[in-house]
Structures are given as C-alpha cells and as structure tokens.
Structure 1
Amino acid sequence: LHNYSSHSQEPFIAINCAAIPETLLESSLFGTVKGAFTGAVDNPGLFEQAGKGTLFLDEINSMSPALQAKLLRVLQEKYVRRLGGKTDIPIYCRVISSINVDPWECISRGELRKDLFYRIAVISLYVPPLRERKDDIDILIDYFLKKFQKIYGRRSIKISPEMRIFLMKYQWPGNVRELEHVIESAITMLGEDKIIKTDHLPQYLKIKLSQQEQGILDITTREPGTLSHILAEVESQAIKEALRKYQGNITKAAAALGISRQNMQYRMRKLGIKGQKA
C-alpha cells in the first residue's frame, strides 16, 4: 500500500504494539520532552518521524484501553502532544493497523475499543488464514526458498515431493510466519544436502507427521473401505483426540485443529460427535 502510493518516497515506519511495554509504547508513539520522567530527553515520536509517509501499527489490539483512547484522540484531532510537553504538533502521516484475530471478538472481550475500531476501519482488508488459501503455499515456499538461500549462501536447493505434500496439507496455525520459520529451519539443517525432506522438519512437526501417518495406518488396516469412509474416520479421530486433550472444550479443540468453532460444531454434528463445553 505504501510503496504504490503517492507518498512512497516518504518514510514507512512499522511497530509491533505487542512487543513493547506499555510505558515505552506511549513514549515511542507520541515522543517525549526533556524532564518528562527520569532520563527523558527531547525525542520525536513515531507519528512525527513518519512525516507524510505511513505509520503501521501491528497488533493494535494489544494496547491497553487507556492508550487506545489516547491514540483515538490523535487520529481524530490529527495532532500529537509529546509526553511532558505543552505544545500540540500536527501530524500528516497515514496510519495502517492490523490485528491477528476477528475485530468483533476483540471488541466483545474488551481488547479493542469500539470507537477506535470505527475510526481505523475506514477501509478494511480481510486476509484469510493460510489454510484457506492453499494456492498461496506453493508460491510462498518458492519465495522463502530463494530468500533464505540468498541469506545463507546456498544454491539449487529443492523440496522433496513428500515434503511439499506435507507443507500443502498442514493447517498452518501460525500462518505465513510459521511457514517462513519452517523453510528457514530446514535450510539451516540441510548440511551438504540439496533436497529438503520431511526429516528436516522442526521436531514439533515431525511429531505431527508421525501422528498423522500412524492414525491413517491404524484406520486403513483396521477398517478398510472407501476413500470417503477412511477420510471420515481420520477426521473423526482427529476431532475426538483434540476434544479429549482439551477436556471437551470445543473452542480450544477447534483452535488446535486450525478451524473455527462454528466449523468444528458443524463437523461434530456431521460425524455424530458430542462435546461438553462451547
């Protein structure tokens, strides 16, 4: 959005609101004046530093309600006052924000102010989770391969068919960041090899792969039948195992399986599985 805008030559500044303590986040955004607190110096905040460019606020729902109220005022009034200052400083930057969960869930849990949401949601873009856009996985795999080969000085690395199939079928609860980590981890574990195999998966994914293979083996050897029957048994076993692990809590079990609670409830009804808690 920034690079293709008319302000692409202006600064682009990004900050992860969840990664910075509350007190530091406020001073980082709004700036400080000398003497505002012990060790404080005259320092412009990110709103000022962004100039006429773009300020990207990642995981904005991690801010406290009090800080969200201050942010709302800045966005409405289009000026900022440094901590300890007495002067209002006009701001000209465009603000882009993101959250990694449904905004209405955040609002219902009190994590996001409704008035702030209305102010920042002038234009809203929904990016589906990676599991819902499987066509992107192949593209991202090749992109991350090129990226990390360049970083680690490797060449001509390929991915085995078995590894690619696993990456395509995995639900990716951590989305693109998790896929990126898996590719980087595999390249660092390659040694002199040129082909990434399932042996190069992180340990937690090796366990998942082993469980999947064992589950399918148990079902196909115990109850041979049509493909649809086998898939239904695999799905039923996965749901029952997740429910057992989370003591029947449908919400937690659904999250572990990488699907929504509504999707989970639909599948449970279809398969005749009963849960204890919503």
Structure 2
Amino acid sequence: MGYFLLSRLLSAAVVVLGVACLVFLLIHFIPGDPVEVILGEGARPADREALRQALGLDRPLLVQLSQFLQGLAQLDLGTSLYSQRPVMELLAERLPATVELALAALLVAILIAFPLGVLAAVRRGTIWDRAASAFALLGVSVPNFWLGPMLILIFSIGLGWFPVSGRAGLSSLVLPALTLGSALAAILSRMVRAALLEVLGEDYIRTAKAKGLSARRVIWWHGLRNALLPLITVLGLQLGALLGGAVITEVVFSWPGIGQLTIESIQRRDYPVVQGCVLLISLTYVAVNTLTDLIYGWADPRVRLGIGE
C-alpha cells in the first residue's frame, strides 16, 4: 500500500508541475496587453513602460516563469494587476461559492441518478428503462449555456419561483445546481444501471433471494452496495469536472465563484488572477482524481497490487 500511495502522489506532483508551467505559458501567449487594459488606449508610452516595469512584465518570459514557480512553492500566487490585492485572498473569497455550487450539483445528480438508475435496472426493457435512457441522452446533449437561460426564462421570469441571478440564499442555488447537475445525473444514472445489472446476476444475489429477503433489501442493500466501486470512480472524476463546468454556469447565473472570477480576469488581462483560477481548478481536479485512486486502491486490493495491469 505504501508503494501504491507514493506512486500516486508522485504522479500527481508531476501533473501539478506540468499544469503550472502550461497555464503560465498559455496565459502569456493570449493576445492583449494588461497595461493597455489598465491605463486605457490613450495612455502615454512612457506611462505604459513605467507600469510594465513596475508589474515585472518587461522581464524575459523564463524569468517570470521562474519567479512564478518559486512563489507557487511558497503558496504565493502573486498580486492582481487590476486590484493590487493578493491572488490567494481573491481566491479565498470566491472559493466557498464554487464549492457550495459543486456540492449542491453533486447532491442533485445523486438524488436523480440513483433512483432512476435502479428503476431502469430493475425494469429492464420496459418503458421506464427507455425513459431513463432518453433522459440520459438529453442530459448529456443539452449544454449548460442553453439549459441555464431556459431555466431562468421558465422558473424565474415566467413563474417567479427563483431569483434570476446572484447568491442570495438557498433559493438562488436551485437553478444553478440543476443546470450543473443535470449532465452528471444523466451519466451517473447509466452507470448505476450498468453496474447494478452486472451485480444482480451474481450468485450471492440469488442466495439472498432464496433466503426470503425482500426485493427492496436485495436491491438496495446487497446489489447497490456491491455496485458502488465503479460509481466511486465516476463520482470522483465528475466532481473535478463540476468545478471546470461551473465556469459557464456561474457566468450565466452571475454566481460569485471562481468561474466568474476567471472570466472577469481574462477580460482584464489580469495574468496572476487567471493563472491562480485555472491552477486552482486544475489542482482540484488532480487532487480529486488522486483521492479517488487511493480510495479505489483501498477498496479493491487488486488495484494497489497491480493485478491485471
């Protein structure tokens, strides 16, 4: 188990280093000058050059990359070019909103997917199974940037049940969570169906039925419990994807999270903040995937022993 843990942590460290370098280089290759955004197009060349030197943008790119990595090693992401506030402080302000939205979306997905997947598996080949398949296809096909405005038009503007945008209580969380969680619910419901169908054919399920256990207990306690292993992987992978997908949803609903901060910083050419936002999303994705690997290895000894690889 120690070797398995060390190998996963080293792999995660290499990925983090690669992501940090890639994010830095891509941000600096984006067209646009942050000095021009800050000072405006009518600024004098001398003022532009003075600000560029003050911000350190006149230094060679490799020097800036070296300074960025040194700061990253000390958990220092630099200072915003626009607000002159520490990037870590800006991220700390916006992170709770994004985590709240991601967890709410994950809860919505679980509440929809598990009953739907179980129903599709138990009623295999019936209209319930076909309806679940149609829902899964629809959920995967509809993009967030279309579903979000449609929910706003129907439930906010049309019916007046929920706020149009912003983060002002539990009611403002409902529509963003539905928008973000619908695609995950579609994927997860099909995974629940497939995993449960595979488990229901096992000998211990037939033994449980022969003992006279109720169908509900057999399915939910013996069947679904043993089908959770592949679902752990899907949930781990999709939780990281939720943070990336939250960018579009946060912009649509004006949700004050990391996603909206990323878009605002891109528009201002605020390099340090953009780097911090993208790096935080990437690190979260890597951390969740690594944790999923560790949980999977703990749950299944064949994974950590490398059997079948």
Normalised by the size of structure 2, how large is the TM-score? 0.27
Larger helix proportion of the pair:
2
Larger strand proportion of the pair:
1
Normalised by the size of structure 1, how large is the TM-score? 0.29
